[in-house]
């Protein structure tokens, strides 16, 4: 109860609500395209590969724009326009997609939607990182529980709009509803107070340590020696090179080589994320399941997704490490995917889809927590940006390969056979992190 009261009275609340809304939009649009896929095929003559590319671009741009969003977010003067523009683009992209006349236009419109989601994601996560404090894990998981709601509410709405308005009218109405993110984004407090800035500067100066001062002193001696010898030496160029070299040597990428395995974990995870979410509904419909039963199945998956995101925040906030939770959820998904592939029964699919949604949804939260736990506090934004860039590439590859395999074998079952293999690689990478924990600064 105390935590709930603290959330309601803290500046984290608008950020959590904004994360909830854009996450429900992100996953909901993917499911809506799955509901409308037959109508889109008839109208635009799309193939599974075309749909895979379009959804892959949606997911890719929602991730690869994160580094740009974080870089722009560092400029205080443009934070407010940045957040508002990020909130506007998803609604604009979906509305434009309703008027598309070719597969290329659909892909471009969904890319615009992804760009907006990526900008908003970067702004929200960085803001929450600064204001959430000790309850970051819980607030973060509560915000991303919106994925579960988007999995069921938007497909239900899309199905009810298809009969009177068709797929174009349905997308247009959904695009208008997505615009509710805009007033929520306007209410976010994206500016840092003076105390937070001072604390960050003190932490950075402390983190540099005596070793950095010694190395800089030695390099200054080298400069003076070279100048005394009368050689042509550009001190300004050496200073820039020195700053870059020192920055890299002090970064987690250099001081903690195992930290780089995190990006392999994210790459393979998001291949699975995009492949599963993009082709779940077509996979179910191709097996002869009715639209009504398909919606029931997505509802079960949505419950699993929402439950897992909330429970992961609670577990990692007090009891278990994020890496251990990641390992358990990965194992569950491998089992669920294998059962789904080899047992084509509706009730079995009901259970496996719920378990897979729990695993994928939970890791969507835990993955960021793994990075935040492993990275240095002052370098989290850089690590987050690099991870989202890598994840975006994984998203595109997952959607593209899923569509190509479905085209080649004329079955979405082939796509779902690919996913356990990728999960196996993901499991090996996360075990490497588990066996090589972060070294304590004190022990060094």
Q: Give me the mean pLDDT over the 53-60 stretch.
A: 80
Q: Give the sign of the dihedral formed by CA 9, CA 89, CA 389, CA 72.
A: negative
Q: How confident is the model at residue 335 (pLDDT cuts 50, 70, 90)?
A: very high
Total residues belonging to the chain: 444
92-106, 205-219, 294-308: range with lowest mean pLDDT: 205-219
- Mean per-residue pLDDT of the chain: 75
Q: Give me the mean pLDDT over the 343-367 stretch.
A: 84
17-21, 65-69, 213-217, 316-320: range with lowest mean pLDDT: 213-217
Give pTM, 2 decimals. Answer: 0.63
61-65, 185-189, 212-216: range with lowest mean pLDDT: 212-216
Q: How confident is the model at residue 439 (pLDDT cuts 50, 70, 90)?
A: low
Tokens 């009730």 correspond to 347
Residue 3 has pLDDT above 60, yes or no: no
- Give me the phi and psi of 440, to 5 degrees please: -75, 140
CA angle 167, 169, 171 (to 5 degrees): 65
Tokens 């003067």 correspond to 77
Q: Give me the mean pLDDT over the 356-368 stretch.
A: 80
CA 42/CA 36 separation, integer angstroms: 10
Question: What are the distances in angstroms from CA 264 to CA 371, 390, 391?
Answer: 12, 8, 9
Nearest to 333 by CA among 371, 265, 276, 261: 276
Tokens 């419950």 correspond to 303
CA 186/CA 92 separation, integer angstroms: 17
Neighbours of 351 (CB within 10 A): 17
pLDDT in tens, 107-124: 898 889 888 888 888 888
Residue 239 has pLDDT above 80, yes or no: no
Neighbours of 51 (CB within 10 A): 25
- Greatest mean pLDDT among 203-207, 212-216, 306-310, 376-380 lies in 306-310
CA 63/CA 269 separation, integer angstroms: 13
Question: Is 221 buried (19+), middle (13-18) or exposed (0-12) by CB count in 10 A?
Answer: exposed
1-5, 141-145, 232-236, 414-418: range with lowest mean pLDDT: 232-236
Residue 389 has pLDDT above 50, yes or no: yes
CA 269/CA 433 separation, integer angstroms: 15
| Residue 334 confidence (pLDDT) | 92
Q: How confident is the model at residue 249 (pLDDT cuts 50, 70, 90)?
A: low
Residue 442 has pLDDT above 70, yes or no: no
The full 3-state SS of the chain, as one line of letters, equals CHHHHHHHCCCHHHHHHHHHHHHHHHHHHHHHHHHCHHHHHHHHCCCHHHHHHHHHHHHHHHHHCHHHHHHHHCCHHHHHHHHHHHHHHHHHHHHHHCCCCCHHHHHHHHHHHHHHHHHHHHHHHHHHHHHCHHHHHHHHHHHHCHHHHHHHHHHHHHHHHHHHHHHHHHHHHHHHHHCCHHHHHHCCCCCCCHHHHHHHHHHHHHHHHHHHHHHHHHHHHHHHHHHHCCCCCCHHHHHHHHHHHHHHHHCHHHHCHHHHHHHHHHHHHHHHHHHHHHHHHHHHHHCCCCHHHHHHHHHHHHHHHHHHHHHHHHHHHHCCCHHHHHHHHHHHHHHHHHHHHHCCCHHHHHHHHHHHHHHHHHHHHHHHHHHHHHCCHHHHHHHHHHHHHHHHHHHHHHHHHHHHHHHHHCCCHHHHHHHHHHHHHHHHHHHHHHHCCCCCCCCC
Nearest to 48 by CA among 391, 356, 409, 420: 409
Nearest to 270 by CA among 60, 23, 33: 60
Residue 197 has pLDDT above 50, yes or no: no
Domains and CATH numbers, the chain: 12-189+254-435 (1.20.1250.20)
For 135, half-sphere exposure in the C-beta direction (CA atoms, 13 angstrom radius) is 19
> Would you give the distance in Å from CA 13 to the centre of its chain?
20
């Amino acid at each position: 109860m105390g935590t709930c009261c603290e959330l309601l009275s803290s500046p984290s609340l608008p950020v959590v609500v904004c994360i909830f809304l854009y996450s429900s939009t992100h996953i909901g649009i993917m499911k809506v395209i799955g509901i409308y896929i037959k109508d889109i095929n008839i109208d635009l003559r799309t193939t599974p590969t075309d749909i895979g590319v379009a959804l892959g671009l949606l997911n890719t741009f929602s991730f690869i724009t994160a580094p740009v969003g974080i870089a722009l977010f560092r400029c205080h003067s443009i934070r407010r326009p940045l957040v508002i523009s990020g909130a506007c683009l998803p609604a604009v992209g979906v509305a434009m997609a309703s008027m598309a006349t070719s597969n290329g236009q659909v892909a471009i419109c969904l890319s615009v939607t992804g760009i907006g989601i990526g900008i908003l994601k970067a702004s929200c996560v960085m803001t929450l990182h600064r204001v959430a404090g000790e309850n970051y894990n819980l607030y973060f998981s509560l915000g991303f529980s919106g994925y579960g709601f988007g999995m069921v509410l938007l497909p239900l709405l899309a199905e009810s709009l298809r009969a009177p308005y068709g797929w174009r009218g349905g997308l247009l109405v959904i695009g208008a509803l997505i615009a509710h993110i805009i007033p929520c984004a306007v209410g976010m407090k994206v500016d840092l107070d003076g105390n937070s800035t001072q604390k960050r500067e003190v932490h950075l100066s402390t983190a540099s340590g005596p070793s950095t001062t010694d190395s800089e002193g030695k390099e200054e001696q080298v400069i003076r020696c070279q100048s005394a010898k009368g050689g042509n030496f550009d001190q300004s160029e050496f200073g820039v090179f020195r700053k870059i070299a020192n920055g890299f040597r002090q970064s987690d990428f250099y001081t903690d080589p195992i930290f780089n395995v995190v990006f392999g974990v994210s790459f393979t995870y998001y291949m699975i994320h995009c492949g599963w979410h993009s082709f779940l509904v077509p996979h179910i419909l191709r097996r002869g399941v009715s639209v009504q039963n398909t919606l029931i199945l997505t509802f079960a998956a949505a419950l699993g997704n929402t439950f897992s995101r909330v429970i992961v925040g609670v577990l990692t906030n007090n009891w278990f490490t994020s890496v251990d939770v990641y390992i358990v959820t990965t194992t569950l998904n491998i089992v669920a995917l294998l059962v789904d592939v080899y047992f084509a029964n509706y009730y079995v699919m009901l259970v496996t889809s719920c378990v897979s949604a729990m695993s994928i949804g939970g890791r969507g939260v835990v993955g960021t927590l793994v990075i935040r736990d492993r990275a240095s506090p002052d370098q989290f934004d850089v690590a987050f940006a690099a991870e989202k860039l890598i994840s975006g590439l994984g998203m595109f590859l997952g959607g593209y390969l899923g569509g190509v395999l479905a085209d080649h074998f004329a079955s979405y079952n082939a796509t779902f056979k690919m996913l356990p293999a990728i999960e196996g690689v993901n499991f090996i990478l996360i075990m490497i992190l588990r066996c090589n924990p972060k070294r304590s600064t004190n022990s060094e």
